Amino acid sequence: MDYSVARRRMVEQQIAARGIVDQRVLEVMATVPRHIFVEVGLQGHAYGDASLPIGKKQTISQPYMVAAMTAALELQGGERVLEIGTGSGYQTAVLSKLVKRVYSIERIAVLAGRARKILDQLQLSNINIKIGDGTIGWVDQAPFAGILVAAGSPDVPAKYLDQLDVGGKLVMPVGDQEQQILMRITRHKDGRFEREQLMGCRFVPLIGEQGWQSESLV
C-alpha cells in the first residue's frame, strides 16, 4: 500500500470534505504516518474512516475526530498543550507538529511506553509523557493554552478548568458511558467559562479520581 496516497485521500475525503478548514491541521494530518501507530495486522486499515483497537481496551480515534478536536483548539503555533490519554501516540504526534510543547498523560504504562518509542522514532522532541491519573491534570506544568481529552467523562473535571490559561480552550467528550457530546470550553479573562456543544461522539471512559472511578462502571 502507498501510505502517502492513503493519507492524502483520508484528508480530502474524510476530513476536509466534512468541513475541517484549518489548513495547518490538514497539512499535518497529511504527513503524520498513522499506520505506524497501530499493529502491523491493522496497518492496511489505518487510513479508513474508523477508530481501531490498540490493546488494553483502548482505541486510536477516527481520523475525522482527531482533526475535529485538534481544529477546535484553534492553535496558532506557540502554545503549550495538555493531552489526556496518550493512547497510541497518534494524536500526540499531530499536536506536537502544531504547538511549542505537548504534555501528555497516560494511565496505562504499556501504552505510554509504546507511544514513546514511536514518537522518538519520528524524532518528535517537544513531547513530555508521564504515567498517572489524567483526570487531575499536570499541575506543575499548568497553565495550558489548550487541553485535549481523548476519553469520555460524566462531567468536566474541575482541575482541568483550574489549569486552563486565560483565553485557552478545553476540548473533551462529556456524557454517559454510551454516548457523549464533544464540548469546547473557553476561559475568558473575566473568569467566565464559555461552553459550546460541538457534536455527538463516543469515546473510551476517562478513568480516575475526577472521572469514572473504574472500568467496571462502564
pTM comes to 0.95
Binning pLDDT at 50, 70 and 90, where does residue 178 land? confident
- pLDDT > 90: percent of the chain: 93
Residues contacting residue 148 through CB under 8 Å, at least 6 positions apart: 69, 70, 73, 81, 82, 83, 84, 91, 95, 170, 171, 172
Per-residue confidence (pLDDT) for residue 218, from 0 to 100: 37
Distance CA 168, CA 143 (A): 9
Residue numbers of the domain that contains 141: 60-217
Q: Is 143 domain-assigned?
A: yes
Cell (9 digits) for 14:
474524510
Task: Give me the sign of the Cα torsion angle 63, 200, 172, 208.
Answer: negative
Per-residue confidence (pLDDT) for residue 214, from 0 to 100: 66
Q: Is 5 domain-assigned?
A: no
The string of pLDDT tens digits covering residues 82-128 is 999 999 999 999 999 999 999 999 999 999 999 999 999 999 999 99
Mean pLDDT of 140-165: 97
Q: Is 183 domain-assigned?
A: yes
Binning pLDDT at 50, 70 and 90, where does residue 56 land? very high
Q: Is 186 domain-assigned?
A: yes
Structural domains of the chain, count = 1
Q: In degrees to the nearest 10, what's the CA dihedral of 10, 66, 70, 157? A: 170
Active site residue 61: yes
CA atoms within 13 A on the CB side of 123: 0
Does pLDDT of 192 surpass 90? yes
Binning pLDDT at 50, 70 and 90, where does residue 138 land? very high
First-to-last C-alpha distance (Å) of the chain:
37
Q: Which of 4, 61, 125, 216 is catalytic?
A: 61
Does pLDDT of 36 surpass 70? yes
Q: Is 12 domain-assigned?
A: no
Q: Is 95 domain-assigned?
A: yes
Does pLDDT of 211 surpass 90? no
The CATH code of the domain that includes 75 is 3.40.50.150
Q: Is 92 domain-assigned?
A: yes
- Helix or strand run (H / E) with residue 101: strand 101-106
